[in-house]
Amino acid sequence: MTIKLAIVDDHRMLLGALTEWLRNAASDIEIVAAVPTWSELVSHPSFPMDIVLLDVDLKDNIPVSVKISLLKSAGVTPVLMSTYSEPSIIREALAAGALGYLVKTEDAEMIIEALRAAAQGEVFISAELDLAVNGGPDASSPRLSAQERRVMALYATGEPVKTVAYQLQISEETAKSYLKRIREKYRAYGIDVGTKVALRMQAIQDGILVGPDIAPTDL
């Protein structure tokens, strides 16, 4: 499946560099628009597209929550990027319906992971942001998305990545990205699940694998 993507960022140098990099780095992502303003996005002939990668602060006095609502009403999936990493801003964006939040200082590869996750209907934030948003004095392990729990459950029961991908109808590359993100999330909480055995034990401890036959939950 090809993801039709629009990028909106008022920093033209970043917009151009990101557009060029994505075109070369991801064959399953087609950039149909790269514009510096909100008005140019909604008036673009390719609108609505599948996903919009939207800069939070376009300095146009339109609240981000309003933009997210308008995108969703048009059938577009919003993924946000920003220089800000304050938990309150991230929570507000996710509560409004964004399916991802990226800080511009994060690895560029993470953008592709976020876009692919959004295309599957999954919320994506990095391990560091997850810890900032969901962590607290009572949080002992990260909060995984439903798809992350499915991947972890299947992989922890001994299935190879190829089988996990087949059963969940995703690519092997996407399955590997999920496993990488799962491990990063646990690492942010000081939990090492680098081996399959450690991942299985953690899945049992967190209730992702349950019952006498250790059957995966949330499948």
**Residuewise pLDDT in 10s, the chain (219 residues):** 799 999 999 999 999 999 999 999 888 999 999 999 999 999 999 999 999 999 998 989 899 999 999 999 999 999 999 887 778 888 888 889 999 999 887 777 889 889 988 998 888 887 778 777 776 555 678 888 878 888 999 999 999 999 999 998 888 888 898 899 899 888 888 899 999 999 999 999 888 887 544 444 444
CA atoms within 13 A on the CB side of 71: 28
Ordered structural domains, the chain, with CATH: 3-125 (3.40.50.2300), 146-216 (1.10.10.10)
Residue 33: what pLDDT? 97
Residue 12: what pLDDT? 92
- In our burial notation (b when 16+ CB lie closer than 10 A, e otherwise), range 187-200 reads bbeebebeeeeebb
Query: In this structure, what token pair is assigned to residue 93?
Result: 């964006």
Residue given tokens 């628009």 in the structure block: 33
| Cis amide prior to 48 (ω within 30 degrees) | yes
- Between the CA of residue 86 and those of 38, 81, 91, 139, what are the distances in Å? 23, 12, 9, 18
Residue given tokens 């993924």 in the structure block: 79
Query: In this structure, what token pair is assigned to residue 90?
Result: 């991230």
User: Which amino acid appears at position 121 of this protein?
Assistant: G
Residue 173: what pLDDT? 86
